[in-house]
A and B are shown apart, each in its own frame.
Chain A
Amino acid sequence: MLSQRRLERRPQARPLFDRAIALRAIGDSFKKLDPRWMMRNPVMFIVEVGALVTTLFFARDVLARTPQLGFDFAISAWLWFTVIFANFAEAVAEGRGKAQADTLRRTKSDTLAKRVVGDTVETIASSLLRKGDIVRVEAGEVIPGDGEVSRGAAMVDESAITGESAPVVREAGGDRSAVTGGTRVLSDTIEVRITANPGETFLDRMIGLVEGAQRQKTPNEIALSILLSGLTIVFLIAVATLLPYSIYAGARQTLPVLIALLVCLIPTTIGGLLSAIGIAGMDRVMQRNVLAMSGRAVEAAGDVDTLLLDKTGTITLGNRHATEIITADGVSARDAASCAHLSSVADETPEGRSIVLLAAQAGISTDHPAEATFVPFSAYTRMSGVDLPDGTMIRKGAPDAVIAWVRVAGGEPHADLAAHVERIARAGGTPLLLARNAAVLGVIHLKDILKPNMRERFDRLRAMGIRTVMITGDNPLTAAAIATEAGVDDFLAEATPETKMALIKREQQSGRLVAMTGDGTNDAPALAQADVGVAMNSGTQAAKEAANMVDLDSDPTKLIEIVEIGKQLLMTRGALTTFSIANDVAKYFAILPAMFAAAYPAMGVLNVMHLATPQSAILSAVIFNALVIIALVPLALRGVKYAPKGADAVLRENVLIYGLGGILVPFVGIKLIDMLLSALHLT
């Protein structure tokens, strides 16, 4: 089963450090040394200025042949490494997106388009297509641009965009009409109305997004940058004033030593990795084949309180099966089955097909009568059926809708049917009333099939504090039964676009952030209103434009993963900030005693790590500070370990690892580096 296979599919395994990406990133990390670029990141800009100043001191040392030549060289070299390592982290994160963009760009190679003008077809370059043009695409050809199928239906291979090899059906009208430029038609011929000018197509936007060209700092990233800049100013003051203090103490400090202390104290670890974390978060979403229109959307996903999940396709497998037809008093089973068949023979929904199958088992088989009009299901009428040429109207649909319809025609349903409707609904099935003109003929029992493992997923969400609300067009009884069986927290039955919208607004008014998935055009307003709206790629253009994410696999369950990625992104930032700040304790203990060892030998007591010499102590702290950035690049790209738990449990764990660890690790690290430096007689 296709949808089930998608559910199981793990994200594409791309190694963290691809050789080509790493090589390109090394080059980029030098290019990013440009001060105009570095200014965007105040913390690392300070490090770069420090590196430059120490380099000048080294140059002076060379000319004057001063004894601290070696020390100044080592400090300046490691400060440059610190900047380059941070740039490398960002470059690797960006490189992963760029690699993906390159793959996409290859599918974008200029194709020819067959434009339909009146009755004639002319062949032009796809780059000349404009919004509103109609193009014809035949089997084996590439669709030249984004658009909607205006005529026909075809199997389309969308693997270039989605990475999913199974072809999908695209047809005129309805919610499966959108096609994407760069995908290939496998069978049949369709006509497509182009909906995007060249350069503005989905593929173009996608390339822009994965490349990070349109990347803007997210709100939380900005707030964190302000905090980091503030801390940098605090430490800048602490270190700058240390110069006069040291003069008072008769132990004047050199600028390279003060710069070394400054760089160790300012939050370089998080400052250097901050943008990489954000880019990598977007990338992780992308690897699950979800296209986030902005980093803001991914961040918002972490804050989501309420998930609105469509029952069909998310909680249950799309196909409900008709299992029995219960007839009303005085209606023959054959008559009912025959009407059920007639009403469904043109109905391509899985439910419709299953009714045809059920009727066939009862020995009924008729073709769609000529000149009969099929009445498709709509979210407003909640019925479908057929109008026969002789004036007979057959409807099947939600009981209340059908009853209302029958009453309009002057009929009244049998009371005993109500009991059947209720029984089916209680059991979690979907009762469909079948009516002909003013008479209700019976009840069709549709059975829902729950997707496997959904209950565990909802339990996980609940542990994270997220409420799940099932959205369904079913009546309240059916909805309640399925909701209980699936383990969701709440449900919205007999949902219409309006009630769905109202639910979202209600949730938001009580201070909750809402995420939802949708694909139809009538989902568009709700998708826009929701804080996180994920449109299915198979959905309409309107839905995709209203949403802030598009799931290329059209798998609604993925919303859950997106929320997890959002949370992981924020956690990674918090963890590395905490780690970075906690590191300062050890660095003080390494550098301060070293600075004043000559003037106040008594300060040696504070040298708790017993570092060999003042110079090796300072150098070890600087080296540790640089290496820790590189060491944490994989963590920044992958995100911290994530488990669905309550906030208190998560916090306790992360505080222990990144807070307490942040205090202890540098003591060990600096000591080890110092031992190594001493062993190699480098200081």
Chain B
Amino acid sequence: MTIIGWLQAIAFFAVVLALTKPLGLYMMRVFGGERTLLSPVLVPVERAIYRLSGVREDEEMSWFVYALCVLAFSLISLVYLYVLLRTQQRLPFNPQHFGNFAPDLAWNTAVSFTTNTNWQFYSGESTMSYLSQMAGPAWHNFVSAAAGIAIAMAVIRGVVRTSAKTLGNFWVDLTRCCLYVLLPISVVVGLFFVWQGVPQNFNAYREVTTVTGVTQTITGGPMASQEVIKELGTNGGGFVNANSASPNENPNPLTDFIELILIFSLGAGLTYTYGRMAGDTRQGWAIFAAMSLLFFAGFAAAYAAEAAGNPLVHRLGVLGANLEGKEVRFGAAASALFATVTTDTSCGAVNAMHDSFTALGGLVPLVNMQLGEIVFGGVGSGLYGMIVFVVLTVFIAGLMVGRTPELLGKKIERREVQFAILAILVTPILVLVPTAIASVTPAGLATLNNAGPHGFSEILYAFSSTNANNGSAFAGLGPNLFYNVATGINMLFGRFAVIVPVLALAGALAGKRAVAQNVGTFTTNSGIFVALLLGTILIVGALTFLPADALGPIVEHLLVLQGKTF
């Protein structure tokens, strides 16, 4: 590890920290319907949208109606993308004349983008028309992210409101998020990316002869516009297969740095929004602190493993960090940082090949996803995932002060525990069970790139990533009918089987009266609470996956030390 390497991480984190309060405050105003800098321009647009769609701005929804709207909206989005991909051949903006997607691949891709996962069993540059890219993935990148943030807002309202029946209006939250938050940032940073060299055109690909005399295809397309929202909305689906490792999507260390910041910024900002809406910013900072500690722990582990390199390669006389599958222009530190950040959140964009990481370096993204991506997390989903852990921590540890546990004065009782546990159950079921099926069935084993523990890690990674709606891949695993269908189902349940109980939890909390707080009350804004929250996350969240991880990356690491590879 080098000081420069660490400075990259620290500088990155410092910028995120600086953005947290202004972004959080801005989002609070936007979702509260208050005036912002952009109101003069955007309010008429917003009103027009409501008029056209018949949405009543001031009509609030119960958790159940809110959840129904989320589900209905997602279902329509899913069908829409499926149809688009199945018919792209005949539609315009297809200079490369790509054919239609096969049914199972179209299903997988439609689910993938609807759920904010952006798992890609296809290569964008060789299968998807420009129209599909813009009207499909790019559009979904906005709305699936906006849906996530909308749900987070509904959950925050549920936690902070008292004796309330409603959590807000999904359509209003969705519209405001796209209009005021995602679009303005995307426009500005998109132009910045164009300036830095990210393509933005409708040209067909170019065949060029390189200096070495080889012909090479240079891809084009509306890339910059999609690049921003890919990170900002923690979507992660690359325009091209190489994602942010490609010089077109991510030309230089500066764009790399900006992309990292985009990934964390909204998730971080939402913690502040939460604190402000709770009437105590320390509530938000406590969550921010827990997230930050997990981030630094993950980065330290990944960077240490990558910087230490592969002992087998060292034995061949090639010393130094593990650079296999990495862009030399980014190096070990920036690659480890990107891998940590992209899996802390549900982004899944990559600037290096996770499959080529050392065993322990690859363990970090895996664990991050198995925790449910709660380190700033997917936009919105990170916060509501964390709030589930907060509820559990409050319930377990809160009892130790001798009162019925309370979160912001609301008693955590039967219903709250029930919904929190339902949400917690989703990840172990959806990660461990499909991995178990795949690891002993011919279909699951057919497309593995490696044998032994590394092959196992590829399966485990695929289901961890799809369940957590991350979308990054341990690229060794290839698509087939089994994986197309199984990961599709996994993505779908990974998102909505969490959203429904989380909204129910919010609904239950919203309806509660707040009890008075006094010195006998368990506080959720102190250092000891942060420690307890981390303990709960690690013991309840991570220990479940220890057996699986032990048979994957951990044992692989131990075997590599003994000189065995797979």
Interface residue ranges, A against B (CB under 8 Å): 219-220, 222-224, 226-227, 229-231, 233-235, 237-249, 299, 302-303, 305, 462-467, 510-513, 566-568, 570-571, 573-575, 577-578, 581-582, 584-585, 588, 592, 596, 600, 602-603, 605-606, 642, 646-648, 650-652, 654-655, 658-659
On chain B, the residues within 8 Å of A249 by CB distance are: 453, 456, 551, 555
On chain B, the residues within 8 Å of A573 by CB distance are: 399
- Cβ contact within 8 Å between A596 and B550: yes
- Cβ contact within 8 Å between A226 and B520: no
Residue of B nearest to A306 (CB): B516
> Which of A465, A511, A568, A574 sits near B513, CB closer than 8 Å?
A511
Residue of A nearest to B522 (CB): A647
> Which of A239, A248, A606 sits near B439, CB closer than 8 Å?
A248
A-B contact pairs, 22 of them (CB 8 A): A227-B395, A227-B396, A231-B540, A234-B428, A234-B544, A237-B544, A238-B548, A241-B433, A245-B439, A245-B456, A246-B551, A249-B551, A571-B402, A573-B399, A577-B399, A585-B543, A588-B546, A600-B559, A605-B558, A650-B400, A655-B397, A658-B400
Q: A230-B425, A237-B432, A249-B453 are in contact. List 20 more A-B contacts (CB 8 A).
A: A227-B421, A234-B424, A238-B432, A241-B433, A241-B435, A241-B436, A244-B439, A245-B435, A248-B456, A299-B404, A302-B402, A302-B403, A303-B404, A465-B519, A578-B396, A578-B400, A647-B521, A650-B401, A651-B401, A655-B397
On chain B, the residues within 8 Å of A575 by CB distance are: 399-400
On chain A, the residues within 8 Å of B436 by CB distance are: 240-241, 243-245
On chain A, the residues within 8 Å of B417 by CB distance are: 223-224, 226-227, 230
CB distance from A245 to the nearest CB of B (A): 5
Task: Count contacts on B: residues with CB < 8 A to the other chain.
Answer: 64
On chain B, the residues within 8 Å of A642 by CB distance are: 402
- Cβ contact within 8 Å between B523 and A648: yes
- Cβ contact within 8 Å between A223 and B412: yes
Q: How many angstroms between the C-alpha atoms of A8 and B159 in the bound complex?
A: 46
On chain B, the residues within 8 Å of A240 by CB distance are: 436
On chain B, the residues within 8 Å of A606 by CB distance are: 550, 554
Residue of B nearest to A248 (CB): B439
Residue of B nearest to A604 (CB): B558
- Cβ contact within 8 Å between A592 and B421: no
- Cβ contact within 8 Å between B403 and A567: yes
Q: Is the interface of A mostly helix, strand, loop or mixed?
A: helix
- Cβ contact within 8 Å between A247 and B421: no
On chain A, the residues within 8 Å of B404 by CB distance are: 219-220, 299, 302-303, 570
- Cβ contact within 8 Å between B543 and A574: no
Q: How many angstroms between the C-alpha atoms of A654 and B399 in the bound complex?
A: 10
> Which of B513, B520, B547 sits near A466, CB closer than 8 Å?
B520
Q: Is B172 an interface residue (CB 8 A)?
A: no
On chain A, the residues within 8 Å of B526 by CB distance are: 648
Among A240, A513, A648, which residue has the most Cβ atoms of chain B within 10 A? A648
On chain A, the residues within 8 Å of B396 by CB distance are: 227, 574, 577-578, 581
On chain A, the residues within 8 Å of B547 by CB distance are: 238-239, 241-242, 245, 588, 592
> Which of B416, B418, B535 sits near A659, CB closer than 8 Å?
B535
CB distance from B420 to the nearest CB of A (A): 8
Known contacts A466-B520, A582-B539, A646-B519: does B428 contact A651 (CB below 8 Å)?
A: no
On chain A, the residues within 8 Å of B392 by CB distance are: 227
Q: How many angstroms between the C-alpha atoms of A374 and B436 in the bound complex?
A: 88
CB distance from A497 to the nearest CB of B (A): 24
Among B409, B429, B520, B550, which residue has the most Cβ atoms of chain A within 10 A? B520
CB distance from B101 to the nearest CB of A (A): 31
> Which of A231, A463, A596 sits near B551, CB closer than 8 Å?
A596
- Cβ contact within 8 Å between A233 and B425: yes
CB distance from B260 to the nearest CB of A (A): 33
Q: Is B518 an interface residue (CB 8 A)?
A: yes
Known contacts A223-B417, A245-B548, A602-B555: does B403 contact A570 (CB below 8 Å)?
A: yes
Q: Is B254 an interface residue (CB 8 A)?
A: no
- Cβ contact within 8 Å between A592 and B546: yes
Q: How many angstroms between the C-alpha atoms of A596 and B456 in the bound complex?
A: 15
On chain A, the residues within 8 Å of B550 by CB distance are: 592, 596, 603, 606
Residue of B nearest to A510 (CB): B516
On chain B, the residues within 8 Å of A299 by CB distance are: 404
On chain B, the residues within 8 Å of A566 by CB distance are: 402
Contact with A along B537-563 (1 / 0, CB 8 A): 001100111111011001100110110
Q: How many angstroms between the C-alpha atoms of A642 and B546 in the bound complex?
A: 36
On chain B, the residues within 8 Å of A659 by CB distance are: 397, 532, 535
- Cβ contact within 8 Å between A303 and B532: no
Q: How many angstroms between the C-alpha atoms of A220 and B435 in the bound complex?
A: 36
> Which of A244, A247, A602 sits near B558, CB closer than 8 Å?
A602
- Cβ contact within 8 Å between A238 and B428: yes
Q: How many angstroms between the C-alpha atoms of A223 and B392 in the bound complex?
A: 11
**Closest A-B pairs by Cβ, 6 of them:** A574-B399, A465-B520, A567-B402, A230-B421, A465-B518, A602-B558
